[in-house]
Chain A
Amino acid sequence: RKEVEQDPGPFNVPEGATVAFNCTYSNSASQSFFWYRQDCRKEPKLLMSVYSSGNEDGRFTAQLNRASQYISLLIRDSKLSDSATYPCVVSPLSLATNKLIFGTGTLLAVQP
């Protein structure tokens, strides 16, 4: 079983739609969680961290469910510029390492 699993998509949605991605992780000791964004032929960049209480950044909302070991990303009012791949990322340990485990990413295509 992969350490981080997510639906590769593609998710094809119209502009203005709300879309949600989920991601599951296998290591219950994981401490830190993130959503990254990767545009085509570009490097991954941090989109947002995911906190236990859930957090929001504009149109983006991230949530963590430790009991079920999944994290989610909700994008409201989708824009064409949101089209990208969204890897979820997990840090397996807390302070001992800065190592990150990347999921393969979910591809989002926002249609005009």
Chain B
Amino acid sequence: DTAVSQTPKYLVTQMGNDKSIKCEQNLGHDTMYWYKQDSKKFLKIMFSYNNKELIINETVPNRFSPKSPDKAHLNLHINSLELGDSAVYFCASSQPQGFSYEQYFGPGTRLTVT
């Protein structure tokens, strides 16, 4: 049973295109996140949603638009893709449960813009 799933796992596209990455979690968590891992492996938060409401937006270009149709899904749409958008994008979810707090990560989506 996959806890946090992302589709697709690999995405190759050309500059200027629009693409979406989907994320689903079956853990019943209220909070979901998008992180970006660049070519140097540095991981940085992009967005956070709690129960479909945007909580964190970390100075991400307007070309990136997250959408949460329900609390189990958080999708990432990217307009007018640029070479610098090439990275691995991770979705994650979390829920405070006593002292077992943990962010569960999806497998990542490797986006390559050519």
A and B: bona fide binding partners: no
